Amino acid sequence: MKELKNWLFPGIALVVFGSLLAALLLEMESVSLEMMMGVLAYSLAMTVMFISIRPKLVEPSHGLPSLYAVHGALAIVLTLSAIIHQLMYFDDFQGLAEFSLTSWAGFFGVLGFTVATLTGMFGLSSTFISKSRRLLRLKNQVFNREINLWLHRLAVIGSLGAYLHLLSFGFLRSNTLFISLASLYALIGIGGYFVYKLSLLKLPRYEITAIKRPTPTLFSLEFTPKNGQLMTYEPGQYVFVRLKNSSLPAESHPFSISSAPNDGANKLEVMIKKSGDFTNRLDELRVGDVATLEGPYGHFLDKDTKHSQVAMVLLAGGIGATPILSILRQQMKEASNRPIDLVWALAYKEDLMLLDELEAMKVKNPNFNYHFIFSDEEVAGYPFGFVTGEYLATIGLEEAYSQSRFFICGPPPMMNAVKGVLAKNGVVDERIYIEEFGF
Ligand SMILES: Cc1cc2nc3c(=O)[nH]c(=O)nc-3n(C[C@H](O)[C@H](O)[C@H](O)COP(=O)(O)OP(=O)(O)OC[C@H]3O[C@@H](n4cnc5c(N)ncnc54)[C@H](O)[C@@H]3O)c2cc1C
């Protein structure tokens, strides 16, 4: 089922491609390979544009990380087909020199897609760049996220260029079915993108009503809706926060909600760790600053686990505890007595926090327990090291392998190591839930 859903958008792109090809063949005897590559690039471009608007209808079943992965894969195929199409018709830039709309629009199409795909691959996604520390450093020094985002938006110019390129051909304009279909797809892809961008202007505004510093590297922000209406969210979900009247840049960043939904207070909390260009400037935030919150997104906690009494093991690494805290707080709010173990891996003593709250949870639910482990500093009273199979055995979690559901969120090396331990001990994928802090 998981694999099947990944084929939804490639399937849509194929339908778009097939319909445009059929429309061409109704009026032509054959379609050349060159033309086919162009039609394929166009079909993919409109599909990729549509995915970029984080369609609310499919996000619940896909999740944004998987939507972005499909978006990226299709964009690579799109760019390759556009380049092949351009090379097959290459005329030594004659058309550009003579100001032909066909050449100029096509050229901007290919250029826009190429730049957007490269920035997506190496600037916005962590898939390729994170493999090389040198590239990562270069990226952070030269191309910060805002520059990458602006370059990535050249995909819109690319898509408009591709549509104009089609319109510039008389024989395509006179093929009513083809041009109607191509225009409809442009309306959904490019039009959808602009409607989405406009909808961001109407997002409800939230005021920062409290800023706390639970540890030297963390900020806990409390957001209260300015119009009185708090968004409905599930434990473990995240929002895109965009500051509006602050000295910080108005770029949108995803942060998990750490408070429990509907806890009676008309506010929600996010906890943020200083980690880069944007988050290192959070000291400049002030109570009273205003932000929009887009979302909620994500499906860390499934309905079945939420409503059942099945045992849960929550494995957090550092700031990865935020969605886990939301789940935990919601369980406590419901006065559930289900067995829950929180394993929270931290680096330094100064990272330790929320002890009073966790102690109070133990009193509320005698079947709840928490375990801290430190990896970079020996801390009196706590174990030292990483979350390994041996460590989980020492805290009595060996029995959990047979029945419990495991929720993991933390740095990728920690998540991979823990997934390895679980797999080795026979925990099936269906009982492992992963939340990643990267796309
Ligand atoms: C679903 C999700 C939930 C998250 N929840 C939390 C949380 O609760 N608390 C927390 O501290 N952090 C969370 N993060 C991570 C947080 O979004 C990044 O640490 C933050 O955006 C980094 O921005 P920066 O400019 O300070 O750092 P940079 O050094 O510029 O970025 C570090 C890395 O963060 C990622 N990143 C940066 N900006 C964005 C962005 N606008 N959108 C997506 N990814 C970006 C990139 O992979 C980048 O390589 C979450 C991320 C995701 C995807």
Q: How many CA atoms lie within 13 A of 345 on its CB side?
A: 24
Ligand 1 centre to CA of 418 (Å) is 22
Question: Ligand 1 atom closest to Cα of 144?
Answer: 30
Q: What confidence score (pLDDT) does residue 131 get?
A: 67
Per the CB < 8 A criterion, the answer to whether 31 and 17 are in contact is no
Residue ID of nearest Cα to ligand 1 atom 21:
253
Q: What is the largest CA-CA distance in the chain?
A: 80
437 CA to centre of ligand 1 in angstroms: 7
> Which residue's CA is the nearest one to ligand 1's atom 31?
276
Q: Tell me the percentage of the chain whose pLDDT exceeds 70.
A: 99
Inter-CA distances, 248 with 275, 281, 438, Å: 15, 7, 21
Using the atom order of ligand 1, give the atom closest to the CA of residue 297. 1
2 pLDDT tier (thresholds 50, 70, 90): low
For ligand 1, the distance from its centroid to the CA atom of residue 192, given in whole angstroms, is 26
Separation of alpha carbons 88 and 427, rounded Å = 52
**Single-letter residue type at 189:** G
In angstroms, the CA 278 to CA 144 distance is 10
**Out of 157-161, 190-194, 216-220, 278-282, which region has the weakest mean confidence (pLDDT)?**
278-282
Report d(CA 51, CA 196) in Å as an integer. Answer: 11
| Contact indicator for 371, 341 with CB cutoff of 8 Å | yes
Pocket test for ligand 1, best of 71, 137, 255, 351 (most atoms within 8 A of CB): 255
Confidence of residue 335 (pLDDT cuts 50, 70, 90): confident
Confidence of residue 161 (pLDDT cuts 50, 70, 90): very high
Mind giving me the DSSP string for 8-28? Answer: HHHHHHHHHHHHHHHHHHHH-
pLDDT tens track for 404-419: 999 999 999 999 999 9
Separation in Å, CA 383 to CA 101, 124, 266, 316, 332: 68, 37, 38, 15, 26
| Ligand 1 closest atom vs CA 273 | 11
What are the E-state strand segments in 52-105? none
The number of the ligand 1 atom at minimal distance from the alpha carbon of 251 is: 41
Of the pLDDT bands very low, low, confident and very high (cuts 50, 70, 90), residue 1 is low
Residue 63 has pLDDT above 90, yes or no: no
Record the tokens describing residue 394, joined without a space. Answer: 């020492």
> Do residues 315 and 328 touch, judged by C-beta distance below 8 A?
no
Strands 218-225 and 268-273: antiparallel
- CA-to-CA distance for 119 and 143, rounded, in angstroms? 9
Average pLDDT value for residue range 188-205: 95
Residue 276 has a pLDDT of: 83
Structure token digits, residue 161? 């260029």
The pick from 253, 415, 439 for probing ligand 1's pocket by mutation, whose C-beta has the most ligand atoms within 8 angstroms, reads: 253
373 vs 439, more confident: 373
Q: Count the neighbouring beta carbons within 10 Å of the beta carbon of residue 84.
A: 18
CA of 256 to the centre of ligand 1 (A): 10
CA distances from 94 to 104, 110, 138, 162 (A): 10, 16, 37, 19
What's CA 319's distance to the chain center, in Å? 17
* 322 contacts: CB under 8 Å, gap ≥ 6: 255, 256, 257, 258, 270, 271, 409
Residue 403 Cα, ligand 1 centroid: separation in angstroms?
Answer: 33
pLDDT in tens, 367-404: 999 999 999 999 999 999 999 999 999 999 999 999 99
Contact 145, 123 (CB under 8 A): yes
Q: Which of 217, 271, 221, 281 is nearest to 249 (CA)?
A: 281
CB-defined site of ligand 1, < 6 Å: 126, 140, 145, 238, 251-256, 270-273, 275-279, 319, 322, 437-439
For residues 116 and 153, is the Cβ–Cβ distance under 8 A?
A: yes
Phi and psi torsions of 339, nearest 5°: -70, 125
Q: Convert the pLDDT of each residue in 83-139 to its tens digit.
A: 999 999 988 889 999 999 999 999 999 999 999 999 998 888 877 776 677 777 777
Ligand 1: nearest atom to the Cα of 252: 41
Which of 132, 145, 326, 408 should be mutated for ligand 1, with most atoms under 8 A from CB? 145
Q: Whose CA is nearest to atom 19 of ligand 1?
A: 275
| Contact (Cβ atoms closer than 8 angstroms) between residue 421 and residue 396 | no
In 151-285 the beta strands, taken as DSSP E runs, fall at 205-212, 218-225, 238-243, 253-256, 268-273
Specify whether the CB–CB gap between 384 and 349 falls below 8 A.
no
Ligand 1 atom nearest to CA at 435: 1
- Quote the pLDDT of residue 62: 82
Mean pLDDT of 274-297: 93
Q: Rounded mean pLDDT of the chain?
A: 93
Taking Cα atoms as reference points, which of 126, 27, 145 lies closest to residue 68?
Answer: 126
pLDDT in tens, 201-250: 999 999 999 999 999 999 999 999 998 889 999 999 999 999 997 888 88
- Which residue, judged by its Cα, is nearest atom 32 of ligand 1? 276
pLDDT exceeds 80 at position 10: yes
Nearest CA to ligand 1 atom 28: 276
> What is the chain's length?
439
At residue 202, the pLDDT reads 92
- Among 277, 296, 322, 303, smallest CA distance to 436 is for 322
Q: 44 C-alpha to center of ligand 1: Å?
A: 28
pLDDT of residue 377: 96
Burial letters 377-397, b for 16+ CB under 10 A, else e: eebeeebeebbebebbeebeb
Angle between helices 192-201 and 33-51 (to 10 degrees): 20
